[in-house]
Amino acid sequence: MKEPKFVNSNTFASNPGQISVSPFVWYRHHAVMGGIIVLLLLAILCLCLFVDMKFVVLFIIFAIVHQINFIRIKEHFYYGDSNGGIVLATNPVLVAVYTNLSKGFGYYPVIKIIECPTLKALNIGDRIATVALYQASINEQLPHWINFEPLPVNYVSNNQADIDKALLSYGEDYWERLEQGIPQVPQPYQVGLYKINIENSDWEDDSAELVQS
C-alpha cells in the first residue's frame, strides 16, 4: 500500500498485519451495515430516476464517504499491529487478546476482551489472528497507549494462507503471556480492557486510567 492516509505514519507496528481486505468478507460479517448501504444506494437511485437527476450529488457524497471508510479499514489491517487471540466463550463469542501498551519504553501489559458475534465454528481455547490500532492519550508525555482495537483477520479475509501466516507470526512467548494473563481477568468475562501483571510491570508506577471501550 501507499503511505497511510489515516494511520499515524510516525509510529510503526512491531508485527504489521499486512492483510489484504476483501469487501465481500467484511460485509458478510457486518450484514446490517451492508444492508443499510444497499438501501441508501437504492433510495438515491430512485430519487435520481423519479425525482431529479440533481440527487446524483448525494450518490457522489455517499461514494466518497464510503471510500474513505474503506481506506481506514484497509489501513487498519495492513499497517496495524497483529496479535493473537484465544476464544474464552462461544455464546456469545468472546476473545482475549494480549499486548504491551508501551510506546517503546517500559512494560504495560493488558488483555482486551472483544466480542465477535459473527465468528462461527469456534471452540473455547481456539486461537485466532487479529490486527489492532492503538489509541494515544491527549497527554503526550504518557509512556503508553491508553487503548487498542483488535479486529479478527477473519473479518476481512478468507485467505487461509494469510490467516496461517499471521498465526505463525506470534511466538510461543506471546501465547504464554496471553495464557498466563487470562486468569487475572475478572470472571464472568466481559468486554473491556484489563491491566495484568501489575506487580511485575510498570503499571505499579502508573495511575493513568485506560479507555474501556
pLDDT score for 212: 65
Dihedral pair phi/psi, residue 68, rounded to 5° = -60, -45
Taking 80 as the threshold, does the pLDDT of residue 213 lie above it? no
What does the pLDDT read at residue 182?
98
CATH classification of 81-205 is 2.40.110.10, yes or no? no
d(CA 12, CA 79): 8
Res 107 pLDDT > 90: yes
Roughly how many angstroms between the first and final C-alpha of the chain, as a whole number?
A: 29
CA-wise closest residue to 34 among 25, 21, 45? 25
Instruction: Give mean pLDDT, residues 117-121.
Output: 92
pLDDT tens profile 4-29? 766 776 677 889 999 999 999 999 99
Q: How confident is the model at residue 206 (pLDDT cuts 50, 70, 90)?
A: low
Cβ pair 117, 196 in contact under 8 A:
no
pLDDT tens figures, 23-75: 999 999 999 988 888 898 889 889 888 888 888 898 889 888 889 999 999 99
Digit-coded pLDDT (tens) for 130-179: 999 999 988 888 899 999 999 999 999 999 999 999 999 999 999 999 99
pLDDT tens for 91-106 read 999 999 999 999 988 9
Mean pLDDT of 167-192: 97
Residue range 73-86, pLDDT digits in tens:
999 999 999 999 99
In the chain, where are the structural domains located? 23-77, 81-205
Please return the burial class of 29, using the count of CB atoms within 10 Å of its CB with bins 0-12, 13-18 and 19+.
middle
Query: How confident is residue 201, by pLDDT bands cut at 50, 70 and 90?
Result: very high
pLDDT at 167: 97
Between 41 and 210, the higher pLDDT residue: 41
